[in-house]
Amino acid sequence: MNQTSKKPISPRTRVRSVVDRISAQGGSVIYQQQALYPVLEIVVRIREKSREQLGDFESHILRFAGHGVSDQAEFAFVIGFPEEKLVPILHELSGRGLLSQDSMHATKFMLSELGKLTIAHGAEVLETDRVILLCGLSGRLVPRELYLMPTIDPSQLRGSRFVPDLIRESSEITLSHLNLGSIPNKRAVNLPEEAIEICGVLAQSEKPKFLECEILLFKLGVETKVELHFSHGKVDWLSASDVLGLLEPLGYPASSPVQVVRALAEELKRIGLVLDGQGELDSNSNPVFTLSGCDDRFFEQKVAGRLYPLHVAAGSLLARPVPGFPRILRGRTLSLLARRGSKLERDVIVLRFIDQVITEMKIKRQSNPEQLFEALSTRTSETGFSLEEIKKVSLRTKDETFIASTTGQASV
């Protein structure tokens, strides 16, 4: 099932860019968590057109068989070919499934179902067995990219981690999605473009499996959406109710919401944050904290590969969910807000401005220190801060790229 591919992007990295997009569109993340996606591995018998051209002589034999010629002597007569040379060819076509030999009369050959399809499609039709993966929640064929991932057997999970309770028995998963007429792009679901029919599932070939993923439950406007992100590809056709069984129990199973907020407050203080108030839960029961300040430790730390301050809401900039404290949050998302008018708010605005410039320049493939510095220095008016003020804030991060963008030097 493995296929050659470029180095995969981790699910967490994929989700980070999606979260940025959601935030930019004014949406909010309700739930984010690693999970196990149930799939059903089955072996199906596929009829597909061969890529090799069927010879004219073989085509003539099949067409005569379709018109009622059956005895090998009759074939030799109508084709005008020596019977002793024709018989091996008839047996070969029988071995390929295009003709069927009469069990009572060894010299008689009839056109088989594959032979009829071969005539109809103008190319030899073969029967092959193929391993495919079905979504364990809907029965739908999964994207081709997911075949690049290692599958996990249920026996590997016992006693080691949370196992989803919503994986149906193999016999309960619908096979209605195996109708090729309903699949506009066969390649996208790892089927050959030459496939014309899925005949059925091989008996006792069903094997429940799991794939590791990152679940993202979010709101855009009034609509709630769910996406499952994998190291290769994503699944975005499931509803929130479909995936509830993949999630560990919603809420805070080990603690009350008040205890969770208190525990988070202690963790935030530990990494150098000064809280304005005790924190609260938003309408989705996700914790929100307002920050009045911080020490330098906070500016130097990173979470999910990004500087911590870049997750903080400041001015008109929305909060980016903080993907940390998994034992406390259990998949819930944490939002941090800089207090209006605080120095922290000013510093976060500066850092997020620098980050925006760096990101835009990387897209343009212009990310050496001189190019970053030139781009940033010509846009300082967007922030209302001087270049010297921006430089002072960048130095607090001790991040080489941020510092280079405000100094034009690779190191300071």
User: pLDDT tens for residues 302-341?
Assistant: 887 789 999 999 988 888 888 778 778 777 788 999 999 9
**Interval 330-343: pLDDT, tens:** 777 889 999 999 99
Burial pattern 71-84, b for ≥16 Cβ within 10 A else e, equals ebebbbeebeeebe
Residues listed for the chain: 412
Torsion sign, CA atoms 110, 113, 114, 115: positive
Q: What is the pLDDT of residue 390?
A: 93
Which tokens belong to 96?
């390929």
The burial class, CB within 10 Å (0-12 / 13-18 / 19+), for 181 is exposed
Is position 325 within any domain?
yes
Q: What is the pLDDT of residue 170?
A: 47
CB 221 within 8 A of CB 163: no
Q: Considering the chain, what is the average pLDDT of its residues?
A: 83
Q: What is the CA radius of gyration of the chain?
A: 31
Domain end (from 223, 246, 269): 246
Nearest to 299 by CA among 290, 286, 288, 310: 310
Distance of CA 309 to the CA centre of its chain: 28
Range of the domain at 174: 11-46+127-246
**Interval 116-139: pLDDT, tens:** 998 888 889 899 999 999 988 888
Is position 251 within any domain?
no
Residue 398 and residue 343 in one domain: yes
pLDDT tier at 224 (50, 70, 90 boundaries)?
A: confident
Is position 6 within any domain?
no
Number of domains in the chain: 3
**Interval 82-116: pLDDT, tens:** 988 999 999 999 989 899 888 788 889 999 999 99
Is position 1 within any domain?
no
Q: What is the pLDDT of residue 173?
A: 58
Domain end (from 123, 153, 176): 123
Is position 323 within any domain?
yes
Q: How far is CA 258 from CA 32, 262, 281, 286, 366, in A?
A: 20, 6, 9, 12, 48
Domain end (from 73, 107, 123): 123
Lowest mean pLDDT among 160-169, 284-293, 341-350: 160-169
